[in-house]
Each structure stands twice: as structure tokens, then as C-alpha cells.
Chain A
Amino acid sequence: MTERIVILGAGTGGTIVANRLRRRFGEDEVEVHVVDRDDDHVYRPGLLFVPFGRADPSRLVRPRHVQLRRGIRFHQAAVEAVETDAQQVLLADGTTLGYDVLVVATGIELQPGETEGLEGPAWGERVFTFYDLPGAIALRDALARFRGGRLVVNIVDLPITCPVAPLEFAFLADAHLRERGLRGATDLVLATPLDGAFTKPVASARLGGLLAERGIELVTEFNTGEVDADRGALVGYDGREVPFDLLVAVPLHGGAAYVERSPGLGDALGFVPTDPHTLEARVAPNVFALGDAADLPISKAGSVTHFQAEILVENLTRFLAGAPLDAVYDGHANCFVETGDGRALLIDFNYETEPLPGRFPTAAGPLALLRESRANHIGKRLFPWVYWHALLPGRPLPGLGPAMPLAGKDLAEAA
């Protein structure tokens, strides 16, 4: 009998899972269906470079269906709701797609409208985000017109995709403004709800140090209540204010809108409660979730999604065979952090082990952990090729497997 697997979302996670399943199973064994509301696959890590004119927006987008192997059915339709009891997906075009196994990979939606004043008249004038492509392009144009003043980067609240991206933006803005001779005329500020530069202590201290070296002011435990665009100020719930001339906001993130319309599938923010190790969704045994869509206690990031995809396919295979789910995701995350001037650092961590200094992937390197280097920057800039040609097709990547390597990490540095 043919089993039908329906994957919601054709981003990083959905595409890798679909391609790996298609490689593993014959078409007489498993039907693979992928649903997405559009056909634009955006390489989201590239958005960071757009505002500085260092990435061509048109090169960040490729058709989703082209990334899917032959034998995968692509449905371009928005999801209305999932009915897990009836094991079916209702699509906005009125059709119904039944499934034996469902994979939720629909990522996040930006919710700027949830913050008072953020989407007001200043949105697109002096309030921007680089978290989507139109926003990144608009910010590029605004930055080109910028002549100094207070440039404020604000994380409205967590969770967000790629928690290091706002830091990277601040580092790149510092370098960019120096090159243009505007750094002296600019106060560069990062306002975050965290109590430091990052969530984990050792990396937080190192990254905080890099901000301080560059004269980037860090405002911590700042919970944005309102954006007062008229006066040009962020107003915190605690009454503190952060004035700005140009605001780069990372808006609230929530799960895809259909999650809330699907009984039992999501939590209050629209993320899917998921077993952190097996990646089975809590709602039903034949539903899995990965990537930004899941509610897991690890950074929302492409590397995380990639590692999860490998584990998820193992467990989905076991589920189809009626076997216990024994593939275990350890929370592995791996991120290059651009620090400006052609350098980057690399962090590698999981649920148990915070980002530590050392070498990656082994003690022999070649990459340095938590230390700026040219090699890390080159790694980051070469990664799009790896993404489109090896990662999405589901080919194995030597040295970049789902289990976090301990060799090379300086464990004595752990807090």
C-alpha cells in the first residue's frame, strides 16, 4: 500500500525532508506531497547583506518547485487548516489533502502589526526590517540616504529566526558606516530583551565584548511596548525610552496563521509543540514538525532545521515501519556570525553544550570557534552554493552532521 506523506512548507526544512524521503522510498511505497502558498524560495541568510549592497536580491530567490526532486508533488496553495483527527489538510483553494503522515515546516510569520506604532506612517520611511526581502531592499535604500544620527537595532521580543542576525547587522553597520566616513556621526545601538548580547553565557560575553570594542551601545532587558514614530523613540514597557533616527526592527515572530486555526496543533504563538528529541508533534503520533515552526528550546536557524531534517526522516521511516522512534536530535546548531571587515566567527552548540571557543569540526580545524577569522567569513559567503546544491537536495555534508562534535571544543571555558 502506498503511504501518503504531506509536507507543509517548501522552505529549508520541507525541501530537505521531501528530497530525502524521495531518495529513500520508491514511488510505489510513498507519495510525497509538498504544499506552499508561493513558489519563491528565499535564501534567508542572504537578507543580512542586502541593506549593505553586498547581496543582489534577485539572486537570493529561486523557484521552490525546482528544488524538489522528480516524483514529488508540489501544490501551490495556502493552508486553511489541518484536521489531525481526520488526517487531512484543508487548502485555501477548497481542496482537501488527506495524509498518512504530516510534516509541519511552515516556519514563522513576521507580525509587525502586533507592536503598537511599528507599522505606522514611519514604516518604510525611517522604520525598517531586514527580516524579509522587501524590507531588506527598502532598508538598503534608506541606509544609502543615511547621513548620521541614531541608528537603533531592536529585537522586539523572542523567539526570532537567527538570534545572531541582529548582532551581525550591528557589526556590518559599524563597518559600513566607517567605510563611508559616517561612523563618528552615528550612535549605533542594539536594544534587546535579553540580559546580554546572546542567550548563552560564554558567547554572550564574547559577543558583548565585540560590541563594546566597536562602540556599539547595548541596551539590555528592553521590552518594546510601543514605537513612537512621531518622536522617533522606542518606548519600553518599563517606561524606558530609546530615541532613534533610523530604526531597524526585528518584529514579533509567530507561527503560520493556519496553525491557530488547526485544533490542538499549535501553542499561543502559533508554534507547534514538539518532542525536542524525536521531533514528533505532541498533537498526534503521525505528525512531525521541524525548523522555525516547532516550539523547541534551541535557536531558530537554517542549520538547526537541516540537522533536524535528517533526524526527522529517520524517525518518519521508523514510524512507517511501526518501529519505535529512536533517532535523537541533540539540539545541534551551527552559525557563522559576521563581524564586519571581512571576518566572522563561528558558533556550534546544542541543548546541553553552550557555544564554546575551540576549533571546528575537529581539534585540527580548519575553522575557529568563537573567534573572528577570515576563513569563517569565506565559509559564510560560500555557503549559498552548499545550500542550493548539497543541503537542499539532501546530499550528505562531510563534517556537518546532525550530532554536535565535542572534539575541538574548549570545555574548560563552559560557564
Chain B
Amino acid sequence: MATLEIAATPVEVDAEGFLVDPTQWTEELAEEIAREHGIAELTDRHLQVVRFMRERFFASGASPSVRALGKESGVPIKELYELFPKGPAKLAARIAGVPKPRGCI
């Protein structure tokens, strides 16, 4: 476990850089994490996904997969890949300050 200074706020992150405590999340923090991962600016569409991700995490205790995002976030999978390149669920979870989607097995 490590402490990172993101947006001038110390936050704890795990070995892969995901926030340990999702309640430490702020929108400024999200923008900072997004920039570090090559997303220059978080648009309303990005934030729609990020907010859905947080809602779902706090309601169910787990971060949704990309398939669940595509079905329920209001943003189709194709666009998710445009907004969050390569691994949308993983990157959106990172930016949303929630744990890495555990993935399906």
C-alpha cells in the first residue's frame, strides 16, 4: 500500500494504483487520475460513467464489468472504449476511485 499525493491531497492507493478508500474521491482527484492515464479532459459522458460506477459500487459492493456498464450506464460499449481506451471498466474504476472490477472467471 502506498500514499500518493494527487491533486495536492494525500490518498492511499493499492499496488495497482486504485484508491483504497473510495470515500476519499473527489472530482478534482478524478481529473488528475484521468490526466495521468492519457485522458486530457473528463467530458459529461466520462462523468456519467464514473458516477454510475460509484453509485453501483456503493449499492452492490462491487465495481461493474464493461458488459454491465454497457447495459446500464446509458453509454454503449463501443463508446466506452472511445472514452476509456483499452480497458474501459478498469480505467473508469480507477478514475471513479473504486476497486478494480474483479472480472469474471
B residues apposed to A, CB below 8 Å: 60, 64, 66-68, 71-72, 77-78, 81, 85-87, 102-105
Known contacts A225-B78, A267-B68, A268-B71; A238/B86 CB under 8 A: yes
B87: A residues at CB distance < 8 A: 221
- Docked Cα-Cα span, A361 to B95, in Å, equals 44
CB-based A-B contact count at 8 angstroms: 39
A325 at the interface (CB under 8 A from B): no
Q: Which of A257-271 contact B (CB under 8 A)?
A: 267-269
A299 at the interface (CB under 8 A from B): yes
- Docked Cα-Cα span, A238 to B102, in Å, equals 21
B105: A residues at CB distance < 8 A: 158-159, 163, 199, 297-299
A11 at the interface (CB under 8 A from B): no
Known contacts A267-B68, A268-B72; A238/B81 CB under 8 A: yes
Q: Which of A207-245 contact B (CB under 8 A)?
A: 221, 223, 225, 237-238
- Docked Cα-Cα span, A180 to B68, in Å, equals 43
A273 at the interface (CB under 8 A from B): yes
Known contacts A267-B68, A268-B64, A268-B68; A158/B104 CB under 8 A: yes
Which of B68, B81, B85, B86 meets A269, CB within 8 Å?
Answer: B68
The chain A residue sitting closest to B88, CB to CB, is A237
A268: B residues at CB distance < 8 A: 64, 67-68, 71-72
B64: A residues at CB distance < 8 A: 268
Least CB distance, B64 to chain A, in whole angstroms:
7
Q: A237-B77, A269-B68 are in contact. List 13 more A-B contacts (CB 8 A).
A: A157-B66, A158-B103, A158-B104, A158-B105, A159-B104, A159-B105, A163-B105, A199-B103, A199-B105, A221-B86, A225-B77, A237-B78, A268-B64
Known contacts A163-B105, A299-B105; A238/B71 CB under 8 A: no
Least CB distance, B70 to chain A, in whole angstroms:
9
Least CB distance, A357 to chain B, in whole angstroms:
20
Interface hub of A158, A199, A268, A269 (most chain B Cβ within 10 A): A268
Least CB distance, B84 to chain A, in whole angstroms:
11
